[in-house]
Amino acid sequence: MKYLGITLERPKIGVFGFTGCEGCQLQIANKEETLKNLFNSIEVVNFREISSDGCDDYDVAFVEGSITTESEVTRLQKIRNQAKILVAIGACACLGGVNNLKSRFPLSDVVKEVYGMHPVDTGPVRRLQDVVSVDIDLPGCPISKSEFEWLVRNLVLGIKPQFPQYPVCVECKQQLNSCVFDMGMMCLGPVTRGGCNAICPRNRFGCWGCRGHSEEANFESLMRILRERGFEDEHISERINFFNAFNGIL
């Protein structure tokens, strides 16, 4: 492959999963119509979902899931040492995600509730960046395939990808959606990073903040708006803590 005379290298990639639902990994293997082109531009050397073969000679590691056990820490550190670029994919890896629910209760209660008579050694939920240095966060729950492909194109070209800094509202208005607030629903769109084409509000479902907060989001103003509209703090708290994207605003 060449771009304006520059020879482009096919990066060798590995895809790895930690604590999570594997939905983000599945997204990468999804969408047959572009899969052929995708594999033309990258060389997959380690990806359990598409091949049982695997080697550790990769340049870019896409890592899904949050970190909850010590063995995961060791495995992640090994990946970090190998990869030139480490990309956290999905809300679990970037934010802690839904798994973070666990951190709201005493650990012993959680272990007892989930594992009963067969307890396992599990710790609090951590984001990848709490354990190793992360080069790129690819947000979303799950990640979007088109955004993943966009990221791959940037990596092949050697460009640092720039994610939208603006909130979901921009793209929501561009879809000509009715504002879900007008329909009485709560929405975190005004403080959540855009780039998802407002897929939830488009389907009349308020935003839950899976992509993390937008740059310099105005939380005070949003809290004022939510309370003025009669949402209870308990309800608000449940929403903003869901993906662990807005720590400490309520």
Report the interface residues with another protein, using CB under 8 A: 1-6, 8, 34, 37-38, 40-41, 149-150, 152-153, 156-160, 162, 165-167, 169-170, 173-174, 176, 178-179, 181-184, 189-191, 204, 214-218, 220-222, 224-225
* 66 vs 96: CA distance, rounded Å: 6
Q: Which is nearer to another protein, 114 or 225 (CB)?
A: 225
From 9, 17, 16, 84, select the one nearest 42 (Cα to Cα): 9
CB of 57 to another protein, least distance (A): 23
* Smallest distance from another protein to CB 210, Å: 17
Spatial distance between the Cα atoms of 172 and 185, rounded to a whole number of angstroms: 15
Minimum distance of another protein from residue 109's CB (angstroms) = 38
Q: Which is nearer to another protein, 1 or 114 (CB)?
A: 1
Can you tell me the distance from the alpha carbon of 172 to that of 214, in angstroms, rounded to the nearest whole number? 14
Q: Which is nearer to another protein, 21 or 179 (CB)?
A: 179
Nearer to another protein, 116 or 230 (CB): 230
Contact 137, 143 (CB under 8 A): no
User: What is the nearest approach in angstroms of another protein to the Cβ of residue 171?
Assistant: 8
The answer to whether residues 249 and 213 touch, using CB atoms and an 8 Å cutoff, is: no
Identify the residue whose tokens are 């869901």.
242
DSSP 8: P
Write down the least CB distance from residue 118 to another protein, Å: 46
